[in-house]
Amino acid sequence: MRTRLGIALVALVVGSGAGVARGQEEPAPLSADLTLQGREVVTRYDVTSAFTEAFRKRLSGGLTSRVLIETLLLGPDGRPMLAQVRTCELRLDVWDDLIYARILDTNRVSRRTYQLIDDALRACGVVETVMGEADALEYRRGYKVQVTVSLNPVSEELLERTREFTSNPRGTTGGRPRAFFGAVARLFRSEEDVRGTTFVFLSGPIARPSAGGEP
Amino acid sequence: MLIFALATVAWASGARADPTRTATVAVSTASVAPDGQEPDADVFDAAFADEAAPFDQEARFVEAVEVVGNTKTDRQVILERIQVEVGDLVNEARIEESRLRLLGTGFFKSVEFSLRRGSNRGRVLLVVEVEERNTILVDELYLGYSRVSPFFGGFGLAETNFLGRGVTVGGSFVLGRDRRSLELRAFAPSISGTPLQISGSAILLQGAEVLDEDDLQGQQLTYRRLGGTLGVGFRVGMAQRVSLIYRLESVRADRLPNLDPALLRQAPSIQFDDSVLSSLTARYERDTRDDPFMPTQGNRVALTAEVGTTLIGSTYEFSKYTVELSQAFLLFEEHSLELHFYGGLVQGHTPFFNQFFISDFAYFAWNRDSLPRNAQLNFSESNDYDDLVASAGAIYGVPVLRGKDLLYRMWLYGGLEFTATASLDELQEDPTGRGVGGTIPLSFDLGVKFDTFIGNFTLSLSYMLDLVF
């Protein structure tokens, strides 16, 4: 009887391990292309779908919203070959009902003013960026563009500064379970609340662009 | 159109210091091209950008602070955590810090700040919109059986935002054969917005300890405890606090007439009849972990010294020192690894329930018949309380599910622990000491952890193995 109980428990624990695959979130599909501009590789894509309702609500509240867009060009083996970063700062002026946008790419800064939030978001999320020298692309095909969009990311320093004691109300760390089914209080802010929301996009395989348009 | 152009100029204050750029900015208009791009917007190379004047804003003063959505939480509890006051310039860094501090209380599901037009241009209302969450949590859950007690069970509840005042109150109880315990506690994390904290607890306990493991129906040591603690704490820096706690307990232990002298010598240490446990504890804590349940970064340090002396009315003369260290790591993007160490020493004479009990630290180990104590009660046949403890181990957690409403997250975890305890007296008599958690000091655990809307729960295989074997 006892042995059977033990086996049932092990099965329960192992069975829950089957959920591992479900726990990992797959990147969202991304429609991206690669073209040549002179000797440089340029990628284009649209990640405006990452701008959630909560993000739009915050933006319409008159405080500055920040977006970090990290672009990686992955080789056929999945290794990053080229990288670029864009940051956007967007703020609605509550008196003028205008959205001020500052978009920083690696070698450019643009400041624009919009009347519609959608237009400002499109300026930030529709990206056309130089990834680097075309010579870096040694394979003919199989490239992928991976984009990580972080909405209002919070710095580690600020997180450190605002962290309250995370011990449970008794001031202990929990330690070993006191019972088969033990519990400790949950007191803390959720990861998403604190760090902001992050989305990952991944394109399908793309061929190396060529000047003549042939892969 | 002109206003728009002027506003743009005002915003780009860097341009004011740069006549060249002013000329560029001044031609901005409200017209938006069909593709959403403004052909005449201000675009220039970073090499010419004035980084000292980024994303500038005209001065905006906070005219009032409006709190919305707090049906239960006292407005003052919220305002105390906001770093911006009426009359201040809008400081977005401080507003973000305030948002994180409010989320850190655990009282709110979401906290959003926004601005609204004030009475005049340049004046704004700072609006704090909160969505409250359930703050009544299950923080202890006991369920088990043993050779000593065919069944024991109980639970603890904590309200972390009592009457909306931001004060934690809680209680727990456990019941079993010859044993029962009731604990109450309260904790005010901030008194009137100051770094001062106040805590208090009370305990009413009736317990029993087995004296002969081969005769569970034989005579037991029965005792009662009634008392509590009162503490003051100060936040002394980032995630740090020091506390001073006074503890006063009335203890009564029944005498053991007609007991075999050999068993009497091995009985847990306590003063028979009535006694008083009165002690002062100084405690330093630093906790930078991101989560105590399944941390992925940060560390925790806790140093404690407790002194009991007749000078403060204690029957027991003793000192007790403990050290707790842990460091968390993030592995493979989402896995959690926590390494930890616990060390403790008791000098002098203290009641056994204030000594170290190996199963409070170790997981399941072969050839060791004890369970961790529940609400300070021992439901196992072991009465091996010791003066020294050293325990080091690791817990590795893998997230397996992520939910939204009821079950937020689930992890599969495994733990290993090396634990050794010893009695100072016996160490002096016998260099090998005793109490190393059975034949080997290594113990292990496997289980599942759940983060739910009513608390964090652990399904522990080691506890079940302890019961079964």
CA angle B275, B276, B279 (to 5 degrees): 150
Residue B435 lies inside a defined structural domain of this protein: yes
CA A174 from centroid of its chain's CA atoms: 32
Q: What is the pLDDT of residues B73-86, one digit of tens each?
A: 999 999 988 989 99
Write out chain B residues lying below 8 Å of A122, CB-based.
Answer: 36
Distance from CA of A155 to the nearest CA of B (A): 11
Widest distance between CA atoms in chain B: 103
- Locate A77 and state its tokens: 């083996």
Residue A154: phi and psi, rounded to 5, are -110, 135
| B258 confidence band (pLDDT: 50, 70, 90) | confident
What local confidence, expressed as pLDDT, does residue A9 receive?
40
CATH code of the domain covering residue B246: 2.40.160.50
Do B31 and B155 fall within a single domain?
Answer: no
Which residues make beta-bridge pairs with B326?
B300, B340
Q: CA quadruple B77, B80, B85, B86: dihedral positive or negative? A: positive
As a dihedral over the C-alpha atoms of residue A60, residue A192, residue B166, residue A156, rounded to 10 degrees, the angle is -100
Distance from CA of B36 to the nearest CA of A (A): 5
Q: Which of A95, A176, A186 sits opposite B137 (nearest CB)?
A: A186
Indicate the residue type of A53.
Answer: E
Residue with the bigger pLDDT between B404 and B395: it is B395
Q: What is the Cα–Cα distance from B77 to B194, expressed in whole angstroms? A: 12
Q: What is the pLDDT of residues B92-119, one digit of tens each?
A: 989 998 988 888 787 888 899 999 999 9
What local confidence, expressed as pLDDT, does residue B47 receive?
34
Residue B53 lies inside a defined structural domain of this protein: no
Interface probe with A: pick from B56, B112, B412, B450, most Cβ of A within 10 Å: B412
Do B20 and B141 fall within a single domain?
Answer: no
What local confidence, expressed as pLDDT, does residue A175 receive?
52
Contact B1, B29 (CB under 8 A): yes
CATH code of the domain covering residue B121: 3.10.20.310
Mention every residue, 6+ apart, whose C-beta is less than 8 A from residue B133: B106, B107, B108, B109, B453
Do B152 and B201 fall within a single domain?
Answer: yes
Domain end, chosen from B96, B115, B132, is at B132
CA B190 to each of CA B105, B198, B274: distance values in angstroms, whole numbers, following the listed order: 11, 8, 37
ipTM for the assembly:
0.76
Q: What is the pLDDT of residues B408-444, one digit of tens each?
A: 788 999 999 998 888 877 666 655 544 444 445 788 8
Beta-strand runs (E) in B33-92:
42-45, 61-68
Cβ count near A214 (within 10 Å): 7
CA B375 from centroid of its chain's CA atoms: 17
What local confidence, expressed as pLDDT, does residue A169 receive?
41
B217: closest CA among B150, B122, B268?
B150
Residue B364: phi and psi, rounded to 5, are -70, 130
Q: What is the Cα–Cα distance from B197 to B233, expressed in whole angstroms? A: 5
What local confidence, expressed as pLDDT, does residue A68 receive?
95
Chains A, B: CB contacts under 8 A, how many? 304
B347: closest CA among B230, B434, B427?
B427
CA B466 to each of CA B100, B366, B379, B444, B445: distance values in angstroms, whole numbers, following the listed order: 42, 9, 12, 11, 10
Do B321 and B176 fall within a single domain?
Answer: yes
Do B21 and B164 fall within a single domain?
Answer: no
Quote the crossing angle between the two packed helices B461-468 and A2-17, to the nearest 10°: 170
Q: What percent of chain B has pLDDT over 70?
A: 82
Do B211 and B178 fall within a single domain?
Answer: yes
pLDDT at A19 over 60: no
Interface probe with B: pick from A86, A164, A186, most Cβ of B within 10 Å: A186
Do B33 and B93 fall within a single domain?
Answer: no
Can you tell me the mean pLDDT for A100-111?
90
Q: What is the pLDDT of residues A131-158, one digit of tens each?
A: 988 888 888 888 999 999 999 988 777 7
Domain end, chosen from B132, B161, B193, is at B132
Residue B55 lies inside a defined structural domain of this protein: no
What local confidence, expressed as pLDDT, does residue A50 receive?
94
Do B268 and B218 fall within a single domain?
Answer: yes
Residue B363 lies inside a defined structural domain of this protein: yes
Number of folded domains in chain B? 3
Write out chain B residues lying below 8 Å of A173, CB-based.
Answer: 292, 300, 324, 326, 340
Distance from CA of A140 to the nearest CA of B (A): 31
Can you tell me the mean pLDDT for B177-183?
95
- Locate B148 and state its tokens: 């000593």
What local confidence, expressed as pLDDT, does residue B314 receive?
97
Residue B338 lies inside a defined structural domain of this protein: yes
Q: What is the pLDDT of residues B313-350, one digit of tens each?
A: 999 999 999 999 999 999 987 899 999 999 999 999 99
Q: What is the Cα–Cα distance from B423 to B433, expressed in whole angstroms? A: 7
Can you tell me the mean pLDDT for B154-167?
89
**CA nearest to B4 within chain A:** A96
Q: What is the Cα–Cα distance from B42 to B21, expressed in whole angstroms? A: 8
pLDDT at A33 over 60: yes
Residue B394 lies inside a defined structural domain of this protein: yes
Q: What is the Cα–Cα distance from A62 to A95, expressed in whole angstroms? A: 9
Contact B326, B340 (CB under 8 A): yes
Any CB–CB contact under 8 A between B387 and chain A? no
Q: What is the pLDDT of residues B288-304, one digit of tens each?
A: 887 777 888 888 899 99
What local confidence, expressed as pLDDT, does residue B50 receive?
40
- Locate B97 and state its tokens: 């810090």
Mean pLDDT for chain B?
81
| A190 confidence band (pLDDT: 50, 70, 90) | low
- Locate A26 and state its tokens: 């797959």
Task: Record the pTM.
Answer: 0.73
Residue with the bigger pLDDT between B68 and B10: it is B68
Domain end, chosen from B100, B117, B132, is at B132
Containing structural domain, residue B103: 61-132
Q: Do B412 and A62 touch (CB under 8 A)?
A: no
pLDDT at B153 over 60: yes
| A214 confidence band (pLDDT: 50, 70, 90) | very low
Do B123 and B144 fall within a single domain?
Answer: no
Any CB–CB contact under 8 A between B303 and chain A? no
Q: What is the Cα–Cα distance from A84 to A136, expressed in whole angstroms? A: 14
Rg of chain A over Cα atoms, rounded to whole angstroms, equals: 23
Do B277 and B411 fall within a single domain?
Answer: yes
Do B202 and B122 fall within a single domain?
Answer: no
Residue B423 lies inside a defined structural domain of this protein: yes
Q: What is the Cα–Cα distance from B311 to B98, expressed in whole angstroms? A: 45
Contact B441, B419 (CB under 8 A): yes
Mention every residue, 6+ apart, whose C-beta is less than 8 A from residue B326: A173, B289, B295, B299, B300, B338, B339, B340, B341
Q: What is the Cα–Cα distance from A153 to A150, expressed in whole angstroms? A: 6
Most confident of A138-142, B136-140, B142-146: A138-142
CA B8 to each of CA B14, B112, B189, B392: distance values in angstroms, whole numbers, following the listed order: 11, 27, 45, 61
Q: What is the Cα–Cα distance from B185 to B334, expressed in whole angstroms? A: 35
Contact B58, B6 (CB under 8 A): no
pLDDT at B363 over 50: yes
- Locate B394 and state its tokens: 């690791």
Q: Which of residues 161-180 of A touch B (CB under 8 A)?
A: 161-171, 173-180
Do B277 and B172 fall within a single domain?
Answer: yes
What local confidence, expressed as pLDDT, does residue B20 receive?
30
Distance from CA of A29 to the nearest CA of B (A): 21
